Amino acid sequence: MTTKYSSAIATEIIQEYSAAAEMLVQILHAFIARFSYLSDAAIRQIALELNLSRAEVHGVVSFYHDFRTKPPGDHVVKICVSESCQAMGSREIVSQAEEKLGIKIKETTADGSITLEPIYCLGNCACSPAVMVDEKVYGRVDLKKLDGLIEECRG
């Protein structure tokens, strides 16, 4: 479960990695796992405790797809849009999800329940198309299965 940002917990996480600059990517992962996104306060604190400039931390944060700087929806639905899934209709899966949720990919629904994201390969290519909901991967996803997954997210 993710929690609200706390500088005490943030320090704990950084100390788990011995406040080593070479662990920055891993620290950012741990922050996302704990606080769901990287706030300005988080970036400021990481920079301070790792003895890096905020620009350096920002450079790393903005380089990687995983490091979001805005809060995500309660559930994150990632649709694989790489070639293998394209060959099995992932473009239709994306359109249907966008239509059903009333948002474009990379957006979050107005009620904050679902964020829709593209992902470039889940390694489930023999069972394409693949979709990941939070940390769970689904294979051979057709339009019906997609509807079911979205309904489940909506509770």
Residue ranges binding another protein (CB under 8 A)? 20-26, 28-29, 59-60, 63-67, 82-88, 119-128, 130, 132, 135, 137-140
- Asked if 124 contacts 141 with a C-beta cutoff of 8 angstroms, the reply is no
Angstrom distances, CA of residue 20 to CA of 24, 37, 43, 48, 53: 7, 21, 15, 12, 14
Q: How far is the CB of 111 from another protein (least distance, A)?
A: 26
Q: How far is the CB of 110 from another protein (least distance, A)?
A: 26
Give whichever of 9 and 137 is closer to another protein, judged by the CB atom.
137
Give whichever of 48 and 125 is closer to another protein, judged by the CB atom.
125
Give whichever of 110 and 134 is closer to another protein, judged by the CB atom.
134
Cis peptide before 118 (omega within 30 of 0): no
Q: How far is the CB of 81 from another protein (least distance, A)?
A: 9
Q: How far is the CB of 105 from another protein (least distance, A)?
A: 13
Give whichever of 62 and 111 is closer to another protein, judged by the CB atom.
62
